[in-house]
Amino acid sequence: MVSFSSRERWIMLVASAWLVTGLQLDAYAHATTPELETFWTPWHAVLYSGIAASGLTLVWLLRSRLPNIPTYATVIALPNALRVPLLGMAFLLVGGGIDTLWHNIFGIEQGLEIFVSPSHEFIILGMVLVAVGPALMTTSDRLSFADGTLVTISALLTVLPLHIYSLHANLLGTIFFGDGENPVRIYSTDAQIMHGFLFTTVLLLLPIILIGRRWRLPIGVPSLLVGLPAIAMHLMFLEGEPWWLPLTVAFGAVGVELVARVLGPVLPLSPGQAWVLLGLVAPPLVWGALLVVADLEIGVGWNVHIVSGLLTYTALTGIGTVLIARNVRPPSSPAPAETSPASVAAQ
């Protein structure tokens, strides 16, 4: 197995953070400056210098792991920890080149156009593949505090571009809980937000499940992987709005993790069953708490049919996400012992 030094992994993480920070600044600029009509902006400078920093870091990592004249066979023989970011860099370079031409020919995207632009899709995919690199480079069977910190940050940097680019289908970037129409129109903002509940459930659960499939989950990591994206989305897209939405989601995640860690060790469940139970219970608990707070703050415009069906959908989405993410392929290298979400209590 190819190993990577702590220095190599942290430098790759810094480059990934530079890259994703550029995306966050650019997204914030588009959200707060709708009249933006130029490609040459400071936030684009951060974004594209982040692409350059990530590319140079990959070259540095590859220099001792490829022959002087690399071939297709030697590149394919690289570990996934390098092949995946390398593929991401290819998407970034292609997407960045297309983005420059696209803006010069067709102008700057506005509104929904931002989230369906072909060049943006390449850039986001590239970011995700590059940002996951530091986590893939971590090969230890048990996460130390430093390794756990690196893996958690890498997971956050991987999922944040997906949250940002799915703003049109993400619950965390808007405050809307029905306008009180009865019956609710099928094609409506209400329906869009309901799909947002499901898509956001998948995005929040995936990094938790994938880290938990490979290692024992350090205490607090699930809460951070839910709470920090909620806070970041609020900062970028809900500036000036009350903070009850991201804080409810963050504290809801803390509550669910606390219950899981207390009850998990005493429940007679296998690790697989424990994860399925988590997928079944966690989403409706967190979203249910959010609906209660939303009703107190601004009022929820949906009746019992909509609310109960929506929470049932989120539970089924949670189960499906767990089953697919844990079973789509085996872990690259097994952990010392199969663990449930709450099995870190003895650490």
346 in the same domain as 214: yes
**Given phi > 0 = left and psi -120 to 50 = alpha, else beta, which region is 62?**
alpha
185 in the same domain as 131: no
Residue 157: inside a domain: no
65 in the same domain as 211: no
- Per the structure, how many domains does the chain have? 2
The number of residues in the chain equals 347
Assess contact for 92 and 57: CB atoms under 8 A.
no
293 in the same domain as 239: yes
Residue where the block lists tokens 């970041």 = 232
294 in the same domain as 181: yes
Dihedral of alpha carbons 168, 173, 179, 183, sign:
positive
pTM for this entry: 0.86
At residue 331, does pLDDT exceed 80?
no
Q: Which residues contact 3 (CB under 8 A, 6 or more apart)?
A: 139
At residue 85, does pLDDT exceed 80?
yes
Considering only residues 112 and 316, tell me which one the structure prediction assigns the higher pLDDT. 316
Residue 225: inside a domain: yes
The per-residue pLDDT for 263 is 92
pLDDT, tens only, 201-234: 999 999 999 999 999 999 999 999 999 999 999 9
Residue 159: inside a domain: no
194 in the same domain as 141: no
Half-sphere exposure of 146 (CA within 13 A, CB side): 7
98 in the same domain as 176: no
Residue 70: inside a domain: yes
The per-residue pLDDT for 184 is 85
Residue 36: inside a domain: yes
Amino acid in the structure at residue 129: L
Residue 286: inside a domain: yes
C-alpha–C-alpha distance, residues 24 and 47, integer Å: 9
Q: Which domain holds residue 32?
A: 1-146
Considering only residues 4 and 226, tell me which one the structure prediction assigns the higher pLDDT. 226
C-alpha–C-alpha distance, residues 239 and 316, integer Å: 32
The per-residue pLDDT for 97 is 87
At residue 334, does pLDDT exceed 90?
no
174 in the same domain as 135: no
Residue 151: inside a domain: no
Give the residue from 101, 117, 146 where a domain finishes.
Answer: 146
136: which 2 tokens? 């893939």
174 in the same domain as 106: no
Average pLDDT over residues 304-321: 96
306 in the same domain as 273: yes
Give the residue from 146, 180, 206 where a domain finishes.
Answer: 146
At residue 62, does pLDDT exceed 60?
yes
339 in the same domain as 194: yes
129 in the same domain as 263: no
Residue 220: inside a domain: yes
Give the residue from 118, 146, 174 where a domain finishes.
Answer: 146
